[in-house]
Amino acid sequence: MKSSAGVWCAALGVIAAVAITAAAVAGGVSGHEGARAETAAKKITICLLPKKKGLPYFTTCAKGAEEAAKELGNVELIYDGPTDGSPEKAAGMVDRWALQKVDVIAVSPNDPEVLGQAMKKARQKGVHIITWDADAAPDAREFMVNQATGRDIGYALVDTMAKDIGGAEPEGEVAIITATLTAANQNEWIKHMKERLGKYPKLTLVAVKPSNEDQRLAFQVTQDLLKAHPKLKGIFGISSVAFPGAAEAVKQSGRSGAVLVTGLATPNDMKAYVHDGTVRSVVLWNTGDLGYLTVRAAAALASGTLKAGDHELDAGRLGTKKIEGDQILLGQILVFTKDNIDDFDF
């Protein structure tokens, strides 16, 4: 039989061992929690680059991006871009941000050839690159945050024009005013617009003209089109500055209602033209939601929760968004008319 002193020593040993084990377990749990907290608190720097800073379209995208950054809590958002739309200046910004080792650069490329080279170099430095609003070559970025497919946008524009012109078989000459001839997203839309025009054999496309993201030039180009094509029935303005520029030219020509103008722009920029009858329909998407989704996608990519091969993305207040290949789709086209345009403020 053991002595009472021996029993107490053994008991104390067991208590000590339990205490040490408990402390080790507690320390382990605390360590894991600390690691998780550190990961959650880790700052993610996201740079959002528009085609041209200062345009209402991109300003409203930036507001949605700021909302997402604030909601996530650990995102530092840098929104900047060339005020003249210069792709060379935009490429310089990508180079500078890459040298600063930011986490993600989200690019709306005005010229995918010029921007693409800078984007590839940034990826080689370990920076995540995504595109939004407009795309570049797939090897220049990891994902694109797309407002809708090019087909959906192109078809919606043509169907809207056909409806606005009216009749069982809408007919007449139509023209397209784009941003630049190098804008990949707009060239994709135009491809599908031409395809969709096949549904309306009496609508004839007579011209595709650039406006170089300049509203005054869009105004002048429209005036020239009206003179060169007196039978013109419709004009598509497929950038946020081409559309109001074209509408103003048609209004000043006194041909509102005779020449229909439709396209892509924010409702606030087009309300006056809708109410005076120069424009019957405005096609777009929620620009704030596009900026919001871009930041959510960028943050998920930086944190490792978004990876190649994923089929959906948790997009916060937008719910779950579909991923098709490397395209993250916002996927909701809106058409604003006299009946609903005043319900929107962006």
- Rg of the chain in Å (alpha carbons): 27
Confidence (pLDDT) at 41: 54
Confidence (pLDDT) at 22: 38
Closest CA to 80 of 72, 88, 89: 89
Do the beta carbons of residue 58 and residue 132 sit within 8 Å?
no
pTM for the complete prediction? Answer: 0.82
Task: Check residue 297 and give left, alpha or beta (phi > 0: left; psi -120 to 50: alpha).
Answer: alpha
- What confidence tens digit (pLDDT) does each residue in 153-182 have? 999 999 999 999 999 999 999 999 999 998
CA-CA distance, 79 to 50, in Å (whole number)? Answer: 8
- What confidence tens digit (pLDDT) does each residue in 73-100 have? 999 999 999 999 999 999 999 999 999 9
Q: Do domains 42-147+287-330 and 150-284 have the same CATH topology?
A: yes
Q: Which CATH number fits domain 42-147+287-330: 3.40.605.10, 3.60.15.10, 3.40.190.10, 3.40.50.2300?
A: 3.40.50.2300
CA-CA distance, 148 to 65, in Å (whole number)? Answer: 18
Q: Is the Cα torsion angle 88, 191, 223, 335 positive or negative in sign? A: negative
Antiparallel, parallel or unpaired: β 172-178 and 327-329: unpaired
Pull the structure tokens for residue 313. Answer: 């993305």
Pull the structure tokens for residue 14. Answer: 């067991």
CA-CA distance, 154 to 144, in Å (whole number)? Answer: 18
Do the beta carbons of residue 155 and residue 196 sit within 8 Å?
yes
- What confidence tens digit (pLDDT) does each residue in 286-339 have? 999 999 999 999 999 999 999 999 999 999 999 999 999 999 999 889 999 999
Closest CA to 249 of 266, 232, 161: 232
Domain boundaries, the chain: 42-147+287-330, 150-284
Do the beta carbons of residue 278 and residue 335 sit within 8 Å?
no
- What confidence tens digit (pLDDT) does each residue in 228-241 have? 999 999 999 999 99
Q: Which CATH number fits domain 150-284: 3.40.50.300, 3.30.70.330, 3.40.50.2300, 3.40.50.20?
A: 3.40.50.2300
